[in-house]
Amino acid sequence: MRKPLSHVDNYGYPLPPTSRRAVRTLAVSVSKRLLGLAIYSVMSLLGTIVLLGRRNKSYPPLTTETFHPKRILVVRVDLIGDLVMSLTAIRLLKQTYPEAEIDLLAVPASAKVVANDPNLTQVIGYDPNKWRRPKALMNWQQWRDLFALRQRLHARRYDLAINLFGRWASVLLLLSGAQRRLGFSHENYPGSLTDTVTGRHWDANDHKHEVDYCLELAQAAGATVTPASRIPHLAVDAQVRQQLDQLLQQEGVQLGKTLIACHVSSNNGQAKRWPIPYWATLIDRLIRDDDATIVLTGAPGDMPLVAEVIRRCREQPLTLAGKTSLTQLAALYQRADLLITGDSGPMHMAAAVGTPLIAIHGPTDPALSGPVSPNATILRSDIWCSPCYTAKGPADCRFHTTQCMKDVTPTQVYETVHETIPKKTKVRQ
């Protein structure tokens, strides 16, 4: 028998921190802020030099009449879900400039999910987050990797580089050597951009979805946004589908039975996860009463959590956690009749391949980062403190109760499953 998870309560949520842990968390937070201020000061100085170098230079508007790019670089060094939502901007840029080659620079762990996107010429992997640690400054391999990236980007001779999110990405825009550099004015280092859009992500006055931020930048680059532009589309290769079918066959999945995928984990905050005993209750009922095939998904790091869910089940679900690549995971969601999940990257993957899904939300606001799909059903409670996530840290409950997720019951989700599957028709990509 597997050992239960440690340092969590019966629901799978972190126990209140000890005083030592709270002090350590505060110390880490303060040190990161100080490092961020130091980096901002250095980049502001370099940005001033860049601004002085182009003080007499003017640029024509970024429109299809005045701008004819051969190569465009899009930078999104973020989590999987954000990268999937960014595909809306990439598709729109390709429609606007069909002759241009579009490259994507993304964190290697996330970049694999878009490996088959037909609108991309290259997917370049690089993780700037490694520079968040002071000791990285003394690691010569880090500097060599950065110099090699600079050479690779310069060799492409980009006409336009777009920062879809964050100050770290604006450094990569500078390194790219692109003639035009576009992003939000208040989330880039001074001098890093030639063209700006007023504002920044997650402004409290906006209440705008992540997809709309991406499309706003595409529009500033000359694209015309339509309602259809808002729905992400994730391409799944036919060969990957075959690999997934072989894997399902090896796991004993029977054709013709209802296949429901359950993603029990979530990055960037444990409060986004539905309670472990709730998962076990729902899975048992779907297998026992509906004869459904339940497949648990996740990355290798999610396996202890998945194992704990299975330990609490009376029935026996299948698990593909740690057994699929990101592209195979997308194929699995496309093959499934339904995905049930909290707010997660796989939630956006399933939405982008047209799969019906039930998304359970608590600390995060679905109006800002929820699935953009006609096949998505969102479940959440109206507890007074939800949503509470501010994007300044992980989505963890400040009261250490995560009551917003506990209020969504297994019975509610089970009934929604029966309402969802008959009504929704999956859109094959």
Q: What is the DSSP secondary-structure string of 315-351?
A: S--EE-TTTS-HHHHHHHHHHSSEEEEESSHHHHHHH
User: Which of 184, 207, 230 is the C-terminal boundary of a domain?
Assistant: 230
Q: Are residues 295 and 194 in the same domain?
A: no
Q: What is the pLDDT of residues 14-71, one digit of tens each?
A: 888 778 877 887 777 777 777 777 777 777 777 777 777 677 677 888 999 999 999 9
CA 256 centroid distance within chain: 32
Is the CB of residue 197 less than 8 Å from the CB of residue 225?
no
Q: Does 196 lie in the same domain as 246?
A: no
Q: Is the pLDDT of residue 5 over 80?
A: no
Average pLDDT over residues 95-104: 97
The verdict on residue 48 lying in a domain is: no
Asked if residue 49 belongs to a domain, the reply is no
pLDDT at 424 over 50: no
> How many angstroms separate the Cα of 235 from the Cα of each of 99, 117, 243?
20, 5, 15
Residue 194 lies in a domain: yes
pLDDT-derived band at 422, boundaries 50, 70, 90: low
- 133-186 pLDDT, tens digit per residue, is 767 778 888 899 999 999 999 999 999 999 999 888 988 999 999 999 999 998
Same domain for 206 and 283?
no
C-alpha pair distances (Å), 239 with each of 22, 114, 321 = 49, 15, 21
Residue 122 C-beta-side C-alpha neighbours within 13 Å: 15
Domain around 100: 61-230
Same domain, 294 and 218: no
Same domain, yes or no: 331 and 223: no
Asked if residue 222 and residue 126 are part of one domain, the reply reads: yes
Query: Measuring CA to CA, which residue among 71, 74, 67 is closest to residue 101?
Result: 71
Residue type, 177: G
Residue 145 lies in a domain: yes
The pLDDT of residue 429 is 44
Say if residues 294 and 286 touch (Cβ distance below 8 Å): yes
137 and 265 share one domain: no
Quickly state the pLDDT bin for 427 (edges 50, 70, 90).
very low
Cα→Cα distances 62→162, 194, 223, 392, Å: 12, 11, 9, 32
Residues 165 and 254 occupy one common structural domain: no
Tally of domains within the chain? 2
Q: Are residues 224 and 164 in the same domain?
A: yes
Boundary of a domain, candidates 180, 200, 230: 230
Which CATH number fits the domain that encloses residue 341? 3.40.50.2000
pTM strictly above 0.75: yes
Q: Is 248 contained in some domain? A: yes
Q: Is residue 40 part of a domain?
A: no
Domain's final residue, options 176, 203, 230: 230
